[in-house]
A and B are shown apart, each in its own frame.
Chain A
Amino acid sequence: MTKTTTTAARAVDASKVYGEGDTAVHALRNISVEFAAGEFTAIMGPSGSGKSTLMHCLAGLDSLTSGQVFLGDTNLGMLNDKQLTELRRDNIGFVFQAFNLIPTLTARENILLPITIAGGKPESEWVENVIDILDIRDRLGHRPSEMSGGQQQRVAAARALASRPAVIFGDEPSGNLDSNSSAELLGFLRRAVDEFGQTMIMVTHEPSAAAYSDRIVFLSDGHIVDEMRDPTAEKVLDRLKTLEG
């Protein structure tokens, strides 16, 4: 089966500088990279390599100093705050490392939050399907404080999937979880990519997490230094050793 080669997101000549003058930090240096639709991409690299900055800029949470980022055909640099926010709401899903959920809302309310914020009606069949796949049906009436860390992250994943976004961004989604819960969550994300053609871009520093992806982009010091297809944990670990060494 040949994969479609549509691009879900891409960065063109992207640079990001924090601060000015002597104290300037170059988080991204003229990066150009494409993320194919329906693919699960991991972004890896040592701390300070710029991997989080790249993700934030791709997701419209941060802006570039120079260069462009596109989500589909939309140039994010051309959007104002409101348009950018609505783009995130309608076309992007997020799973952060922790504190993904609003503590005052129940799991169901959290899942539907982007849709209710948009004032839209959820596609109930799809949402129910997602809830079942993530195995959180019995938690729907609970608040985050009444759920385990793994359950909370699964609810966050369900929220990200609920509006069928163009891309889901994960920022160390399994970083706070034990290995069982971590495997469970990443397995679900993998299923979403395989079964529903969901595009997934995930920042991680764990080789075991990156092994769930189709492709890994390695960053170091603001540059893209390497790429890897069909990774395994061992291959990633080896590659990281050379990268850091």
Chain B
Amino acid sequence: MLKASLRGIWDHKVRTLLLAVAVVAGVSFVSASFVFTDTIGDAFSGAFADAAESLDAAVTIDPDTIEDDFAFGQQRIDASLEQEIAAVEGVDGVFANLTAFVQIIEEDAAATAGFGGPPNFLFAWTGAPGSFQLVAGRAPEAGELLVDADTAADKGWSIGDTVVFSALGPNETATLVGIGDFEGGNPFGGAVFLFAPLEEVQRLADAEGQADTFDITFVDGADAEDTLAAIAAILPEGVRAIDAQTAAAEAAEELEQGLSFITIFLLIFAAVAVSVGIFVVYNAFRTVIGQRTRELALFRLLGATRRQVLTSVLVEAAVIGMVATVLGIPGGVVLALVLRLALSIFGGDLPAGNITLAPRTVLIAAAVGIFTTVLSALIPAIRASRVLPMAALSDVHARRIPTVRRWVITGVLLSAGLGVSYWALAADQALWIVGVGALLIMAGTYALGAAVSNIAMHGAGRAIDVIGKPFRRSGTTITRQMAIENARRAPRRTGATAGALMIGVSLVTAVAIIVFSIQTTTQKALEQAFPADAVVFPGFGPIQALPEGVEDAVRELPEVETAAAIKSAPARVNGQTDFLVGVNPEETDLIVVFDRIEGSFDDLVGATVAVQRSEAERVDLALGDDVEIFVTGDPVDHEIVAIFDLGSDVSDQASFYINKEQYATLDPTLPDIQMSVAFADGVGIDEGKAAVETALEDFGGAQIFTQEDLLGQIEAALLGVLVLIFGLLAMSILIALIGVVLILSLSVFERTREIGLVRAIGMIRSQVRSMVRWEAFLVAVLGAVLGMLAGLALGWFGSWAVFGEGFSYDVPWLPVIGGIFGAGIAGLIAAWWPAYRAANLNILEAIAYE
């Protein structure tokens, strides 16, 4: 029995391979996500471990004492601690580290401009032992810089050159005096490393007398544990001493965590690809089992037990899963490489280095590959084991008609899905409940496919008859009619084939609708809620900040009527983290369009706050009440002096506004984050923009955007997102198309005798091909239409989930309808091989085929 099933696999090599390919994509996505994470992780840990090799200990802020996430990274250590640590017995050297984010100002303004790009770091040059060492020139003094060798080569700098850069302020000029490099090459591809003396970095980072961390070396022969304990004993609260390797591991982990979203992203697509693969494999196995009924019954008749039949089918599935795993893991490695390349092109700062394929990755990939295949084959296998021996003696090709039960299942699933999603969103439930609803909608649509396929095929036939009448060529009607009848013969199979395609198409449609809705909503929001002529944004760095002095410089321009910079950062307001915006009360009109203000922004002076009405109503606040605001230091009560509505229905605006000067007392280090600009009367948008741009040249990186510019930026960014998601979803559509190829091949195989007959009585090859292609086309279009319907629903709920109440829902009809035709054409391509096989069957063998 086992031999028979292995022989079966070998006899159907193409089928086995196609089935394996249907599973491969899922395996690849899964392995890619782990390979990617491990590779990046190893590179980071390796680089940090190398850097820490010659060090013994580190002093850092204790992360456990940081209460609020938003305060993390802003806390620093008093640099004077250096002398105290150096005095501890056993300590040899102490090196104070401090990092500032800077922007290198290129001569070509366009090269400087733009968001993103690899970060530019300015470190304090400590001369500490480690993997990064001076290779040319000398250590920097005030007004001088040292740069890493890769950057020097990249920018064409040599010692003695002048470098212009900016660190949250006016442009700085420094002379390049040294070049350093990592031992064994730079593991942080793309990032720019600049070094300056500690005092310079402190000035530029606005951190006078402070350090981020200290690196420490011990004297030879000192007891590491004792020395570490002795250092710890003199440290103030909230600062800790750890050994150097632990510190390196923590630093690496922190960077890795920043990339974990990529892993999650990949795993989501893995889940989609795996589930489409499951449907394809299930459908193919079901069909094959149906066709093999006689053969299986013969085995039973000859004495094979049910268990043996079950095992033989599952073994076949497991072999397919293994083939998929073997193909999928290299696919995953390639995908991870491509992803790393793509991210570094788009300015991600990813370490180079060897690809890591951990044993765990192989195990998980194999588990996914084999388990999903066996799982998909389980129900067909159980059915196979229930074949009665007597079936060997009877004809079993019965036509199955969709039952009332199927309609009931479809109805229940669909209404449950729509109901759950609606309820979850309307009643503000957790997002995962919406997800459950979405899954139910998909399941319902899938069931709908099987229930509706016969009617749909019939309807399609009628529609084509009517539409195609004037164009009809002779002899084509019959091929289409036969194709439709073939599709109707096995409605569940047709429904399942279309259903696999439906999954991908529905997700694409939903994503397209959500992105399109975001775009139109943003556009509307900008038009409604953008009172300024233009906005100036900082152009760089993970800490977004406008250079100091920008506001005054722009305000003084004759072309500018007024300019208003704001501060904005997460803060703890009444115990909840929320965005807190600092504005100048006279200039609020330039920032946001407020509507229906109760109280007045004029009173926004000192410890006062303006609250959005929806937020005030939510927590039951009225004018005169106090709101507790915590930024740094101690929480401060602020009295509500204004409650406002927003002039637009955009929901992602901040709810709390305080006076900008008040913000400075709460957090003196928080820089301005953006600035609205109104041009003087009679100054055109282009003219005003050009004037501001000239003024901004002295402030590295800051850029002015008009409303039109912003829309362009948003459109470009959304397009990028759309392309990325479509690219990944294309995989699942591809799998579904492989499913079309498989099922059509099986159908052709099943109808060998019929095809032989029609060939004998005079159907030419092109007509046979056309018959198969019509079936593929109609099944693909059915899948796409179902996918579109599900996508319309998912997109509606998705937009609701993204925007909340009052969301806008915009369907990009042209691409959506176009996509259906695209699916039809893809179906025709999928039909190529089965059509070829059908047309080239040997007529005599086909007629004699049992």
Residues of A within 8 A of B (CB): 56, 59, 61-62, 81-82, 85-86, 88-90, 92-94, 96, 99-105, 109, 113-114, 116-120, 145, 159
Contacts and interface: CB of A to CB of B under 8 A. Distances in A.
Given A99-B753, A104-B489, A120 B762 contact: no
A82 B765 contact: yes
Given A96-B847, A102-B482, A117 B762 contact: yes
B848 to A, nearest CB: 10
Interface in B272-309: none
Interface in B814-850: 843-844, 847
23 contacts: A56-B844, A61-B760, A82-B764, A85-B764, A86-B764, A93-B761, A96-B757, A96-B847, A99-B753, A101-B757, A102-B754, A103-B489, A104-B486, A104-B489, A105-B482, A113-B758, A116-B477, A117-B758, A117-B761, A119-B473, A119-B476, A145-B399, A159-B761
Given A86-B762, A119-B476, 15 more contacts: A61-B843, A81-B764, A85-B765, A90-B762, A96-B757, A99-B754, A99-B757, A100-B757, A103-B489, A113-B758, A117-B475, A117-B758, A118-B475, A119-B473, A159-B761
B186 to A, nearest CB: 65
Contacts of B493: none
A62 B844 contact: yes
Contacts of B485: 104-105
A99 to B, nearest CB: 5
Interface in B479-516: 481-482, 485-486, 488-489
> What bracket does the count of chain B residues touching chain A fall in?
20 to 34
A94 B763 CA distance: 13
Interface in B725-763: 753-754, 757-763
Contact of A89 (B761, B844, B847): B761
B767 interface: yes
A132 B724 CA distance: 66
Nearest to B764: A85
A103 B398 CA distance: 11
Contacts of A94: 760-761
A31 to B, nearest CB: 18
A59 B754 CA distance: 18
A88 B760 contact: yes
Contacts of B758: 102, 113, 117
B358 interface: no
Interface string B381-417: 0000000000000000101000000000000000000
Contacts of A102: 482, 754, 757-758
Interface of B: 397, 399, 473-478, 481-482, 485-486, 488-489, 753-754, 757-765, 767, 843-844, 847
Contacts of A99: 753-754, 757, 847
B488 A120 contact: no
Contacts of A92: 762
A15 B216 CA distance: 98
Per CB-CB distance, the 6 closest pairs between chain A and chain B, nearest first, are A89-B762, A119-B474, A119-B475, A104-B485, A116-B478, A85-B764
A99 B849 CA distance: 10
Contacts of A88: 760-762
A113 B475 CA distance: 10
A223 to B, nearest CB: 22
Contacts of B478: 113, 116-117
A113 B763 CA distance: 9
Contact of B759 (A85, A90, A109, A118): A85
A90 B488 CA distance: 29
A116 B844 contact: no
Contacts of B843: 61
A92 B843 CA distance: 15
Contacts of B761: 88-89, 93-94, 113-114, 117, 159
A36 B846 CA distance: 30
Contacts of A109: 481
A157 to B, nearest CB: 13
A86 B847 CA distance: 18
A61 B760 CA distance: 7
Contacts of B759: 85
B748 to A, nearest CB: 14
Contacts of B481: 109
A148 to B, nearest CB: 15
A146 to B, nearest CB: 11
Contacts of B489: 103-104
Given A61-B844, A113-B478, A85 B762 contact: yes
Nearest to B843: A61
A86 B760 CA distance: 10
Nearest to A143: B399
A116 B764 contact: no
Nearest to B472: A119
Contacts of B767: 117
Contact of B763 (A62, A89, A96, A103): A89
Contact of B762 (A101, A105, A118, A145): A118
